[in-house]
Amino acid sequence: MELAAVAAIAERLGRVAPVGVRVNPNINAATHPYISTGLHGHKFGVPRERAVAMLRQAAAHRWLQPVGIAAHIGSQITDLDPFAEAVQFLVTLADEMGREGIRLDYIDAGGGLGIDYQDSVPAAADWVRTVGPLVAAAGYGLVVEPGRSIVGRAGALLTRVVYTKAQGDKQFIIADAGMSDLIRPTLYQAHHPIAPVLERPGAPVVVDLVGPICESSDFLARERALPPLEPGDLLAVLHAGAYGYAMSSNYNGHLRPAEVLVEGDTFRVIRRRQTYDDLLAGTWPGVGGPGCSQQDLVRAAK
């Protein structure tokens, strides 16, 4: 359906559209199931047989030109072997299409290289050195998508301790940021390094760092050894650059924070802090309440 949609747009514009096909190679990247995308049970890409059919269809179409194939097998991958397996799969497929007269220009190795949240992971250069020779030897151009491994380390979430709380044997640090600001620990059980901006002296204490949202899943870290903390202390939740703000929400009416770009010893606000006026902007008086008509609901939906 998507290929047909591209073809229709290309015909309407009178321009041949270069297209690539994302192939699902059925490779297990051994990552969290929510961010694994390379198995046939996942919604991403198409199986090999369908990819072949789509490339043939594109080659025969007046307004389409097949130029590449791609695979993306998951995120936060810390082993290079699945990448090499996926790229070899793509090279073999591209060679097969070439023997049919459908010569592709490039192979897209996708992304998904992990960053060092907790364990050591390969560098992006090692990743390229692993997949690059396989593609170059076959005579194709190489595309890689290392965005996460670059921008992940570039971002930090700053949060302030509001309260500390002992609950039986548990020690809680309650902060003003939580799952609505950085959902990865809740959603993926992701481990983000956490450091006090100013560290107090004393032995580390094992705590749960939790937020202000009314959910037991609202946490930034569980069973984490942190230095002694008091209300007012600032914490930096590191490696939040890849999917921090982009996955944030207004859940429970919580406002999104500001984004600040730091360059050397200077900084500037690049996204202002959200206000309650922002949160309520665009609402329709009476929608969902007394006197709400069907016309009000239709108008709000539009």
Annotated catalytic residues are: 214
Contact between residue 25 and residue 86 where contact means Cβ atoms under 8 Å apart = yes
Q: Which residues of 159-192 are buried (b: 16+ CB within 10 A; e: fewer)?
A: bebbebeeeeeebebbbebbbbbbbbbbebebeb
For residues 289 and 285, what is the distance between their CA atoms, to the nearest angstrom?
A: 9
Q: Do 106 and 66 meet the contact criterion of CB atoms below 8 Å apart? A: no
Distance of CA 190 to the CA centre of its chain: 12
| Alpha carbons within 13 A on the beta-carbon side of 239 | 16
Angle at 112 between CA 107 and CA 113, to 5 degrees: 100
